A and B are shown apart, each in its own frame.
Chain A
Amino acid sequence: MARIVGGITTSHIPAIGNAIAKNLRDDPYWKPFFDGYPPVLEWLDRTQPDVAIVIYNDHGLNFFLDKMPTFSIGAAQEYRNADEGWGLTPLPPFRGAPELSWHLIEGLVAEEFDVTSCQEMLVDHGFAVPVSLLWPDRTTTAPEGQIRTIPVCVNTVQHPLPSPKRCYKLGQAIGRAVASFPEDLKVVVIGTGGLSHQLDGERAGFINKPFDLMCLEKIVDDPESLIDLSIHDLVREAGAQGAEFILWMAMRGALQGQVTKLHGNYHIPISNTAAGLLLLENAA
């Protein structure tokens, strides 16, 4: 049977993609950020997951306001990255895992999460940056040796956004669906985005370190203490785009075993954002 071996949370700021492309890992601005990742890469190397379920938000590459699904899931052999308009060079396509995708879709709809299934789905920096951070050799690896991925996209562009509780429950349903997949697969769930940041308005540049640190602590051992936050609470406390924390909550919901924090990092600022990283092991 398939099982979820762990969860990882990471920010997905576009500037990170630029720093990777320009190899700025040792630059003084970037070093405290990139230095957080080697323990996670070592764990991935040791654990060798077969599939990554990547929970992210589209920022206006695949979806526009004409049709804005609250939850959508990729069900394709591969996912293409493309020009987002402000300078990141598109990356080679990401390998899919369509059989597990359809199993997730079946399981989620059976549990009353009426997701949008996507057989074609452009993935933007919200998906691509975390995969590049966690599998830095992907683009130089033959496709059959690359991590297989399933994009799970949550609307954080146009309110109303799904609540932290709803996203946590979505994660729980993903966890149950993975556990009922007959193939013997190791699955890692990635929650992307966050932590506190705001790009728009007179409050642009807003960062809330005490709130972030509280979330980083509670999400490990007491995630249910966070599910009654409203989206309005998140926007107020974490900034307009800090509401992406709902993606972390979805990741956490998928971990239903014994959860142990193996590693974490928190650094301010990367671009306009407080960058957070967590590695959570999920034991049976």
Chain B
Amino acid sequence: MRQTPHAEQAPIPGTTIFDGRMAMKGYALNKMCFSFNEKANRDAFLQDEEGYMDRYGLNEEQKQAVRSRVVLAMIAAGGNIYYLAKLAGIFGLTVQDVGAQQTGMSVEDFKAMLVEAGRH
């Protein structure tokens, strides 16, 4: 049976489906983040952020998203959360920090929301 593509289905609020369209758009950004599996590359990024982004061919939207540290902007620029997590790790951010930033909550409030989800 044919699965209906996500683009033809009702959008899910606050959710970007990482499909072929986004994978093409974000390729350079995600490829840079994939390189951060290696410590030498994380160090090289920290030493020269702009030069490192140039080397991976990020476009201006992607560079600006990285400079701003705004995760939602990185996702809009085609970033996939699994690769972006490696970038966030360079700055010592956990998935709770990233979740709080995206939802506009404090980290404490975000954690409290998760605990609350277990109550009902």
How many residues of A are counted as interface, with CB atoms below 8 angstroms from the partner's CB atoms?
A: 43
Nearest-CB residue, chain B, relative to A241: B81
Main secondary structure of the interface of A (DSSP, over half): loop
Give the residue of B3, B31, B102, B103 whose beta carbon is less than 8 angstroms from that of A230.
B3
Give the complex CA separation of A206 and B36 in angstroms.
Answer: 27
Give the complex CA separation of A65 and B117 in angstroms.
Answer: 33
Whether the Cβ atoms of A202 and B72 lie closer than 8 Å is yes
Taking A60-B37, A61-B37, A65-B30 as contacts, is the C-beta distance between A268 and B80 under 8 angstroms? no
B3 — which chain A residues lie within 8 A by C-beta? Answer: 160, 163, 230-231
Name B's A-contacting residues (CB within 8 A): 1, 3-6, 9, 12-20, 23, 27, 30-31, 33-34, 36-39, 42, 71-72, 75, 80-86, 88-90, 94-96, 98-99, 102-103, 110-111, 113-115, 117-118, 120
Whether the Cβ atoms of A269 and B115 lie closer than 8 Å is yes
Name A's B-contacting residues (CB within 8 A): 15, 59-61, 64-66, 82-87, 157-160, 163, 165, 198-207, 209, 230-232, 235-236, 240-241, 267-269, 271-272, 274
Whether the Cβ atoms of A209 and B118 lie closer than 8 Å is yes
Supply 10 further A-B pairs (C-beta < 8 A) apart from A160-B5, A235-B17.
A65-B23, A85-B85, A159-B18, A200-B102, A205-B110, A231-B6, A236-B12, A269-B111, A269-B114, A272-B96
